[in-house]
Amino acid sequence: MTTKIATHNSGFHPDDVFAMAAITILYQDYIIYRTRDENIWQECDFLIDVGKEYNHEKKHYDHHFKDGPAYEDGLLMSSVGLIWKHYGLEICNGKKHISDYICNRLIRGIDANDNGITSTTKCDEYDNIIPLSLCDSIKMQNPIDTAQTDSVFEKKVCHARDLIKAMIANCEYEDECRIIVQTAIDSAIEKGKNYIVVPENCEWMKPLFQCTDNEKVLYTIYPKENSWYIKTIPVELGSFESKKDLPEEWHGLNDDEFSAKANITDGIFCHHKGFICGAESYESIIKLAEQL
């Protein structure tokens, strides 16, 4: 059965774009009515950003009234906040930590913007760098030719839906990687090693800091495009300071010079900052790791 969803006409905003994107992840057979005609509203299954009331039982998700719905910390919700409150967990396949992450990383920022709160970080070092926010990028895509607004809105909803799905997929992938990394840490501790080995395309950095006993790991070994690499672990996530750099005598060396200094035959390079080095074979990268 086709789900009928109404929202307001004229210019679109980040909250109605993302609210529509979120709900259509669940209701994939849908039709959108962009109208303020209350006769059409009465025939719709959902009213989003219109309707003059917030009533979950009736599936009315408006916020344009005094003392509207808010989070526990007082931040007022927009239409996307209301949709996410009731459907976010289902959209995220029942995984609360993913629903909460997307709420904090995406949804609340849109809510804040809709209520006149700026959450964009300006670059203090360079005055002429002013980051373009997601919300502003959506607003400026309202077409000058207003006859095109509905069709552009549909495209923006598709793009927003893709973004939400990508965030969910990335979080689920990080969950898988965290299991891999934790297993690698457990194995390293059992063998008395200060490094872990992970497979190619394993997103290991962020998951590592979520794992137990991660403080005992100083290096990560991983393959990439038929070569092998050792990378240092930062003192904290996002830092450029390593817990322990690679040996200083390796820094900035390449190919034969690096190979000779590190006592291997197929060295590729060691970065001049000492946070990464590479070799062509697994045997050589392990030989390097055993010197650390």
Instruction: Report pLDDT digits (tens) over 171-184.
Output: 999 999 999 999 99
Q: Which of 85, 81, 70 is nearest to 15 (CA)?
A: 81
Crossing angle, helix 79-91 and helix 14-26, to 10 degrees? 30
**What is the CB neighbour count within 10 angstroms for residue 83?**
27
Helix/strand/coil for 86: helix
Tens of pLDDT, residues 44-75: 999 999 999 999 999 999 999 888 899 999 99
Residue 132: per-residue pLDDT: 87
* pTM for the whole structure: 0.83
Mean pLDDT of 97-111: 97
Residue 130: per-residue pLDDT: 80
For the cut 90, the answer to whether the pLDDT of residue 119 exceeds it is no
Give exposure, 244-270, as e/b (b: 16+ Cβ within 10 Å): ebbeeebbebeeeebbeebebebbbbb
Residue corresponding to tokens 């197929």: 266
- Beta bridge partners, 230, equal 221, 277
Q: How far apart are CA 257 and CA 254, in angstroms?
A: 6
Q: Is 51 left (phi over 0), alpha (psi -120 to 50) or beta?
A: left
Q: What is the DSSP letter of 267?
A: E
DSSP assignment of 136-152 equals HHHHTTS-SSGGGHHHH
Mean pLDDT of 143-160: 97
- Residue 33: pLDDT band (50, 70, 90) is very high
Q: How far apart are CA 162 and CA 205, in angstroms?
A: 25
Those residues with Cβ within 8 angstroms of residue 213's Cβ, 6 or more apart along the chain or in another chain: 185, 186, 189
Helical ranges in the chain per DSSP H: 14-26, 38-41, 79-91, 96-102, 108-114, 134-139, 149-191, 205-208, 255-262, 282-289
